Amino acid sequence: MTDQETLLVLKTERARHAELGDTLDLHIAILEARTAVEIRDWRFEIGDQEARARLARGEPILRADELALDGEALARLFGTICRIAAKYHPEDADAFAELASQPSAVEETARNYLTATGHASRITHHATLANFVVNNVLHPFLAAYARALKPLVDDAAWYRAYCPICGGEPDFAALEKESGARRLLCARCDAEWTFHRALCPFCGEERLGYYPGSEGAYRLYTCGNCRRYLKTIDLRELAREVNLAAERVLTIGMDVTAREAGYR
Ligand SMILES: [Zn+2]
Ligand SMILES: [Zn+2]
């Protein structure tokens, strides 16, 4: 799915979800900004053979230091995302303005974000805001790579907890219609891949708890070991087509539930 497709779904759902008004407006504004970015001059020079060799070693294809990032486009989108986020989160407006005042740092911040692991146990509020902005700023670039590189990934052979394209963690999952196999959605590049259904993708724990969602198809999987959670949609329960990137936004209520229960 592309950002354009996700944007259309969210605009349609906006009318049906008055309770999510501000959240959906925020994400619609962000997707509009992301889809306005033209990815020019992006290149990937390592070649298919090297990409497959990395996958075979369990390494994601992309390495932060090899990414061609259009610094000017990055900085522009960075400013736009900061302004949008400040508008919808006025309580953090000062922090977003401070971020936006350092556009020259965006490329370095972006590469640091890509090499950082998500397992830091204590993350400051400011770092959370910066990650939110950088995640959105990088998305058009990473998604372009993901679409181009996806054919190189053998889904059945990969079977790891992190994204085969960019190494990111999942922030949403789907149980497949026919097999019930679990497909994970990358929080950074929207690539999807298959992983063991019964294992925590953050720490490998085998005993997961889960809460049923308000609608039958949704579940919230929680891990008592690492205290992380994963929102999941069971496609076997649904006749309609789903766009996982849109579901990630539409299920924001489950994030609130999970955080209130002490998961992150
Ligand atoms: Zn990814
Ligand atoms: Zn865990």
How remote is the CA of residue 146 from the centroid of ligand 1, in Å? 7
How remote is the CA of residue 15 from the centroid of ligand 1, in Å? 30
The pLDDT tens digits for 169-219 are 999 999 999 899 999 999 999 999 999 999 999 999 999 998 887 778 999
Q: Which ligand is nearest to the CA of 167?
A: 1
Q: How far apart are CA 224 and CA 206, in angstroms?
A: 10
The pLDDT tens digits for 123-176 are 788 888 988 999 999 999 999 999 999 999 999 999 999 999 999 999 999 999
* Torsion (CA) 80, 145, 158, 177 in degrees, nearest 10: 70
Q: Which residues pair with 186 in a beta bridge?
A: 170
**Is residue 52 predicted with pLDDT exceeding 70?**
yes
Q: Residues within 5 Å of ion ligand 2 by Cβ?
A: 200, 202-203, 205, 223, 225-226
Q: How far apart are CA 131 and CA 169, in angstroms?
A: 13
CATH 3.90.1670.10, applies to 155-260: yes
How remote is the CA of residue 217 from the centroid of ligand 1, in Å? 25
Fill in the amino acid letter for 190. D
Cβ atoms of 198 and 258 within 8 Å: the answer is no
Q: How far apart are CA 133 and CA 54, in angstroms?
A: 29
Q: Which ligand is nearest to the CA of 141?
A: 1
Q: What is the pLDDT of residue 107?
A: 80
Q: Which ligand is nearest to the CA of 203?
A: 2
Q: How confident is the model at residue 225 (pLDDT cuts 50, 70, 90)?
A: very high
Q: What is the pLDDT of residue 10?
A: 96
Give the residue extent of every domain in the chain. Answer: 37-152, 155-260
**Strand segments (E) across 136-214:** 170-175, 182-186, 192-195, 208-212
**Is residue 121 predicted with pLDDT exceeding 70?**
no
Of 51-65, 97-111, 220-234, the least confident: 97-111
Q: Residue 249, Cβ neighbours under 10 Å: how many?
A: 22
Q: How far apart are CA 198 and CA 169, in angstroms?
A: 16
Q: Determine the 3-state secondary structure of 146 from DSSP.
A: helix
> Which residue is it, tokens 């229960």?
261
Look at residues 127, 82, 87 and name the one whose alpha carbon lies nearest to residue 102: 82
Helical segments of the chain, H only = 3-14, 21-35, 47-56, 71-88, 93-100, 106-115, 125-149, 155-158, 244-250, 252-260
Give how far Cα 134 sits from Cα of 39, 52, 104, 139, 191, Å: 16, 28, 13, 8, 17
How remote is the CA of residue 227 from the centroid of ligand 2, in Å? 6
How remote is the CA of residue 57 from the centroid of ligand 1, in Å? 17
